[in-house]
Each structure stands twice: as C-alpha cells, then as structure tokens.
Structure 1
Amino acid sequence: MKAYLAGPEVFLPDAVEIGARKKAICRAHRFEGLYPIDDSVVGEGGAAARRIFAANIGLIRSCDLVLANLTPFRGVSADVGTAFEVGAAFAIGKPVFAYSNEPRSYSERATPDGMAIEDFGGFDNLMLTEALGGFVSPPDGRPLPLGDLAVFQACVAMAAQALGDAPQSQRRMAL
C-alpha cells in the first residue's frame, strides 16, 4: 500500500534525511512511503508553486492512505498545507492517520484573545480531528521536536493494524 507522508518536516534543514527515515519505517510495516519532496520541483514563483501543488495532489491521489504530521507549526495549529492535504485526502475517500509530537490539546495551546476557543478536547480544530482514522501523540505527555519520528512510528503501526485485515471496500472514508 502506498502512503503519502504529509507534514511540515519538508521545511527542516534535514528534510531529505527525515524523509528517508520515514520511508524506511513505512517499509517495515509494508507501506511504500511517498514523500512530497522526492520529486522536488526546481524554480521559484507561481509556476513552481503550481507544479508543487499538482505534484503533491497527484501523489495524494495515487496513494492508498495518508500519514500526516499535525504537530503545531509556525503557531498553535497544524501546518496549513498539511491540513489542506488531510482535507483533500479525506474528500476523495483516502483513510488518514495522523500524529503530533505535541501532546497538549488545542484549547491548552491557544490563547483566547477575546474570542471563544474551540474546546472539544481535540489536538486541533474539529475538522481535522474528525477526518482521521486514528491519531497518536507522545504517551508520556512531553513534547518532542518536529523531526523526532518516535510518534510517527507509532502512527504507522496503528495504520498498519487498522488497515491490515480490512477489506479494500472498508479502507475508504468519505464525506
């Protein structure tokens, strides 16, 4: 089964190494990891952005499931690009399993600034939490660095267990 590896690690200085490690973890669970920067698009500006968008959407369409890193990135919520990929995958019926290296709930991380805070006990906005087939965070309650793959490994194992015995018709989720 092919798994699209969504997450903000692509912005880290060691993104290629992290991608290789994630793909190795996937192989150990009989998944083929599809990492967004495997087919890096060269260039700048709008044309490059359109090619990256098309390439990533193509990878999502070609995969059987999505494994998403929803660790807060550049704020209190998941990376907006990763959140989009989760939504796109869900909308076309791909199962999505996710993890976060941050154990605190969204309401614990967010500051009200005079507005209501969504408090359903989820790790992020309810639209993300409800789109998932499963979610994992650090079991000991301590946050881990963005590039730490211990919780990713638990997420891959969870997905493999969830999808391992399910018939193909039950592997799809949709609106």
Structure 2
Amino acid sequence: MNATEEKELSAVESAEQAMREAAAAGGTAGETEPEKESVDGEKTERLICFVCTGNTCRSPMAAAVVNSRRTDEHPIRAISRGLAATVGAPMSEGARHALIDAGIESTADNPWQQHHAAQIDEETLKRADLVVGISASHAFALITAFPLYAEKITSMPCDIPDPYGSDDETYRRCLAAITEGIGTLLP
C-alpha cells in the first residue's frame, strides 16, 4: 500500500467513525437539494450522489460531468459529498482547471464553480436514488456506516486515485478516468 492509499484508508476509517457518531446522534449536515416532481407528485429525475474522501476533487468533478450531460430525455441530477469533508471548503484549483480544460461549463443546472464541500449524511442517502463511491473503499465505508441504504450504494467501475495536491495533468487524467467510469456506470 502506498502513502496515498494509506492516507485515504485512514480518512475512510475516521469518516466511518464520524458517520456512526453522527447517525447515533441523529444529526445531518450539508445543503439540501430540492427534488423535481411531476404534477402528480412523483419524482421526475434521478438523484445520484458521488462520494469521495474530502469532497473537493473527485466527487464534485463526477457530479459536474453527469450534470453537464443532463437532458429532458435523461433527467439525472448529480450531487457530491465527502466521507471526511471539511465542510465549506472550495473545490480544489486542480479540479477547477480540469473541468475548464474539458469544456464543462458551470451553469445554473451545473453550478460547479460554486461548489463547497459537504459531509455525507443519512438525509442525503434517503433522497438519493444511487450513491456512488469513487473507490471501492468509499462504497464499503458507506455500507458499513449506513447498512440500511446498502442497496443504493455502489462504486465506480474502477478506483479513481486521489489527485489532491498533484499537478494539473494528474487532475486531467483523473477527470478522464471519472468520465470513462461514468460512461460505463450510466450509459
């Protein structure tokens, strides 16, 4: 196991404990996302939540990719959360640059430029139709902390290494891997 993997595993283990404590206390955190409903009150779009460690790189990039592809024919909306988020932290500069370089615009329907890190919580898991861990360890941590929602939780087709603190080229490669994984996960 390399240093990055050890750091991520430690963060996941810490997050598992924090999530168990928050769940036991009945607390939730993070912004709320309104659901679009049809005239008869049924949901008209699927909500997907991507989860990584800090919610400043991988998961917000994944949400931006999905939201950039949303159409009336494919009413999927994505949000992102972290297992060990520093709530309110902005998206990393490398992630911003990668999205800009890829031509993914920040719009009213895809406001990634305004992203601020949020912690995963039970309320988000309740509302989401699908929860996607950016790596298998993220999905495992979610299932461990929130077993009631295990049927909604999956992981990307392949683990996406954390680019935090890396150069812009590493972030671009990370975004390419995320985009490819989303293409497999949500054809």
Q: If the TM-score is normalised by the length of the shorter chain, which range does it land in?
A: 0.3 to 0.5
Give the structure-2-normalised TM-score.
0.32
